[in-house]
A and B are shown apart, each in its own frame.
Chain A
Amino acid sequence: MSCILSEDRALLDRFRRGERDALGRVFSHYAPHVASLLKSGFGFSAGGQRVRFGGYKRTFELEDALQEVFKRAFSERARMSYDGLRPYAAYVAVIARNLVIDQYASRKRELSHFSFDESAAPENDTAPETGRPERELLAGELRAILADFRAKLDQREQTIFTLRFEENLSHAAITERTGLTASQVKTTEAKLRVALMKHLHKHGYLDERASHVTPAAEAAPSGDNG
């Protein structure tokens, strides 16, 4: 990963001054790397023990942690402490690790009020819930619903769905690849998004109470009629 701060001294100066656009640029460049670290986890030593952090599995927790890491990294003290020579990715990774270690220490303190009751017999022998099967079930359900949605699209919609959402191409690249106008691509994508939300509600994936807030573009695409 290139280090935009050590390669661009003007950017480094603006970053140190806390200028918003410079901070934004640094965030955009390094946030995916930090998100990956926070999601995949890592090991660390604490209190003489080796601890494995398995990564944040819930999206909300991941987002919260990411936000906190960059709040710390962008504090005046942290900005001024960065020497502009070391790779900033490593610098911010240390901040991310410290955040996780802080959380670990804090939760350990909270749990210090509890201990295992040796005298109580376990009620049953079932394995503890890890939450993982539920997540995998949910992911499987989502994959099936998306596949069903995709199968019901017409040819143009399928093409745009694939290029935009599966291959992550830009509008310009899709225009070039398909020969459609930029307007056609954008309109089709907007319709696809609306249709997808309806489809997800219809199949019970999303809370029905929120179904009335489907985005405003109400033109029904061909994909979600059945």
Chain B
Amino acid sequence: MMNHKNALRDAQELVAKGLPTRRHRRLREHLRGCDDCMRHYERLRAVEDALTPASVISDVALERIGALVLDEVSPPATRRGYWAWVGGLGTVSAMALMLVLVSPRTPDDELTPRGVTATGNGHGLAAFVVDPTRGDVARATVGADRRVIVPAGKVVQLAYRNAAYRYVMVVGVDASHEVQWYHPAEQERASGGVALVAGAIDEPLPGAWSIDRDMTPQRLFAVFADAPIDAEAVTRAVERLRASGQSVRNAERLPGLAYAQDSLLLDIAEPTGH
């Protein structure tokens, strides 16, 4: 989902003050297929290396690569709960948590500051919106249709609350019923889903997504189960939704799917304040 503008921005941010590992990884994926952005990156890195002439590669660049390696071969221990998660963002010093939306199956939860209403009961999908460049606080708007409005340029991290289920899958469906797998990654669909922590409150799911201006709204469906989830069954449920012609704005559940579910509507707003 990364476009050229975001890639240029991230390349510069990477060199200027560092990027979270996940965004660094996504940037590298983009660069592999984009000569223009690669040229920009090479120039930025040349500056960085020119300012540390004694080294083949600058210390900060080594540190960045080291973080990518360690993240892959020895991921940090899973943290529990909101404040632990915020602590986990310590390396993401440029980021600031902006708002929290918890979308549970219980009626009493509304948009609230993080940590106030989470009870740990039931199950639900949550979205965190992170401003990668500024420290100001914005507030999400959530309607009856469980809509999360996210300004373009921000980063979304999904999380969950879970009493006792063991697996979750999250799939996004846009207005054209195009599908994007969030959790697990598309190539890992056969895994049965992401393993859940019982009793977790706002446990982050792996990965984060930059919201580009050209993204279209999506309904994010989270499917919870006690046993590995049949990804094909989820795919068939999406097909049924498509065949029904029902708008994703109104579809809070994937039809005909014998799993517990929750959903959010991820809507994109024009960036503000830039």
Give the complex CA separation of A56 and B52 in angstroms.
18
Count of chain B residues with a beta carbon within 8 Å of a chain A beta carbon: 46
- Specify the main secondary structure of chain A where it touches its partner: helix
Q: How far is it, in angstroms, between the C-alpha of A143 and the C-alpha of B57 when the chains are bound? A: 17
CB-based contact A32/B62 at 8 Å: yes
Enumerate chain A residues within 8 angstroms of B236, measured Cβ to Cβ: none
Chain A residues whose C-beta falls within 8 Å of the C-beta of B245 in the assembled complex: none
Question: What are 10 A-B residue pairs whose CB atoms fall within 8 Å in the complex?
Answer: A27-B62, A31-B66, A35-B56, A60-B45, A64-B28, A70-B69, A70-B73, A207-B8, A207-B40, A209-B5
How many whole Å from A140's CB to the nearest CB in chain B? 11
Shortest Cβ distance from A200 into chain B, in angstroms? 7
Task: Flag if A32 contacts B56 (CB, 8 Å).
Answer: yes
Hey, which chain B residues are within 8 Å of A193, CB to CB? 16
Q: Point out which of B8, B31, B41, B52 has the most chain A C-beta atoms below 10 A from its C-beta.
A: B8
Can you list, as one digit per residue, whether each of A35-54 has a CB less than 8 Å from chain B (1) or not (0)? Answer: 11001100000000000000
- Using CB atoms, name the residue of chain A closest to B36: A207
Q: Which residues of B are at the interface with A, using a C-beta cutoff of 8 A?
A: 4-5, 8-9, 11-13, 16-17, 28, 31, 36, 38-47, 49-57, 61-63, 65-66, 68-70, 72-74, 76, 133-134, 274
**Whole-angstrom distance between the Cβ of B4 and the nearest chain A Cβ:** 7
* B74 and A23 within 8 A (CB): yes
Q: Tell me the dominant secondary structure on chain B's binding face.
A: helix
Question: From B74, which residue of chain A is reached at the shortest CB distance?
Answer: A20
How far does the alpha carbon of A184 sit from the alpha carbon of B57 in the complex, in Å? Answer: 27
A residues touching B (Cβ–Cβ < 8 Å)? Answer: 18-20, 23-24, 27-28, 31-32, 35-36, 39-40, 58-60, 62-64, 66-67, 70-71, 74-75, 138-139, 142-143, 146, 165-166, 168, 193, 196-197, 200, 205-207, 209-210, 212-216
How far is A216 from B52 in the complex, measured between Cα atoms in Å? 23
Give the Cβ gap from A74 to chain B, nearest Cβ, in Å.
Answer: 4
Nearest CB on A from B98, distance (A): 16
Complex contact A39–B70 (CB within 8 A): no
Let me know if A165 and B52 touch, CB within 8 A.
yes
Closest A residue to B69 by beta carbon equals A70
Considering the chains assembled together, what is the distance between the CA atoms of A35 and B63 in angstroms? 13
Q: Which residue of B lies closest to A39 (CB)?
A: B56
Q: A27 with B133: in contact, given A200-B47, A213-B12 (CB under 8 Å)?
A: no
Question: Which of chain A's residues have a CB closer than 8 A to the CB of B62?
Answer: 27-28, 31-32, 35, 66
Determine whether the beta carbon of B74 is less than 8 Å from that of A67. Answer: no
Chain B nearest Cβ from A58, distance in angstroms: 6
Residues of the A chain whose Cβ atoms lie less than 8 Å from the Cβ of B40: 206-207, 210
Residue numbers in A under 8 Å from B63 (CB-CB):
28
